[in-house]
Amino acid sequence: MSAGPAILVTGGAGYIGSHVVLALLDAGLPVVVLDDLSTGRAEAVPPEVPLVRGSTGDGPLLRATLRRHRVGAVVHLAASLVVPESVARPLGYWRNNVANTLALAEACVAEGVTRLVFSSTAAVYGIPDRLPVDEDTPCRPINPYGASKHAAEGLLRDAAAAHGLAVVALRYFNVAGADPAGRAGQRTAGATHLIKVACEAALGLRPEVAVFGEDFDTPDGTGVRDYIHVTDLAAAHVQALRHLAMGGDCAVLNCGYGRGHSVREVLRAVERAAGTRLPVRLAGRRAGDPPALVAANGRIRSTLGWRPGFDDLDRIVAHSLAWEGRLRGTGAQLRRGLPR
């Protein structure tokens, strides 16, 4: 794709959004970010990128932004995404993940924006009958986060059928890591992502790492997840936009590596990278957590030509640890000997 109309990235000041913005800039594409900064950080947006502060539920603001910045396509990342929180606060998740997606779709249709890449999740599958999970697996979400994302997929599918809005929905598995060049990473205070929590504990910034459940039906009793490097995920968004720009069909695509790692395996990888033992506390299962989720990724490979470049748990952990070190001013020491 060559430079032309801007790409609007909703949630572009967040963890994944900031990496998607960098990937788009690296591809030579003009970008504008819309973010209410409830969880995102303004400093995560590069200075050359316009930042519009506001909600994806604000229809007039959306339409004005689409017009003012000559937006030609949207990457919709703004969402609520913490599973236990969704169980405790379901109405907020339905509002942000469904009602606000509806407002965005209405604005796109009204302003003639015909391409949208949607941030979905493996949580739509619930507890699948078999692994790895392909895109034809029945969706039976077991928490409001997954249910709200599945509903948003449905409304976008209907918008595509009725209004010509071409949509690629990317179902993320467990996103982790940081930009290898150190330009972006996970900034959210109190984040619940396992690898970030473990890296913070390795640096003495958290007193412990809680292991939520050790009695799952998995090889070592702890939950198994397919961890995907955030840079590979960001590249998938650029390729999805390219697919739509070339007239490609609507698609729903898993974003994962096709291989799972248990919580204990992740903790050992962080200990290897940091050269220290982690303080671990065993805790009960969290509401809404499935035992295992691993992606079948043949469809994204064939549809988008996606080829991951960072498919290695130790590299994911190393980049995460280096980012945490940079945030705390110890990056130079942590970078020594870490894989790029």
Q: What is the 3-state secondary structure (H, E, C) of the chain?
A: CCCCCEEEEECCCCHHHHHHHHHHHHCCCCEEEEECCCCCCHHHCCCCCCEEECCCCCHHHHHHHHHHCCEEEEEECCCCCCHHHHHHCHHHHHHHHHHHHHHHHHHHHHHCCCEEEEEEEHHHHECCCCCCECCCCCCECCCHHHHHHHHHHHHHHHHHHHHCCEEEEEEECEEECCCCCCCCCCCCCCCCCHHHHHHHHHCCCCCCEEEECCCCCCCCCCCEECEEEHHHHHHHHHHHHHHHHCCCCCEEEEECCCCCEEHHHHHHHHHHHHCCCCCEEEECCCCCCCCEECECCHHHHHHHCCCCCCCCHHHHHHHHHHHHHHHHCCHHHHHCCCCC
**Residue among 93, 125, 145, 227 flagged as catalytic:** 145
Strand partners, 118: 76, 169
Can you tell me which residue has the tokens 């595509």? 160
Does the active-site annotation cover 15? no
Q: Which of 295, 309, 23 is nearest to 172 (CA)?
A: 295
Q: Which of 231, 225, 228, 227 is nearest to 178 (CA)?
A: 231
The span from the CA of 46 to the CA of 9, in Å, is 13
Q: Which of 91, 85, 95, 150 is nearest to 121 (CA)?
A: 150
Active-site residues, by number, are 145
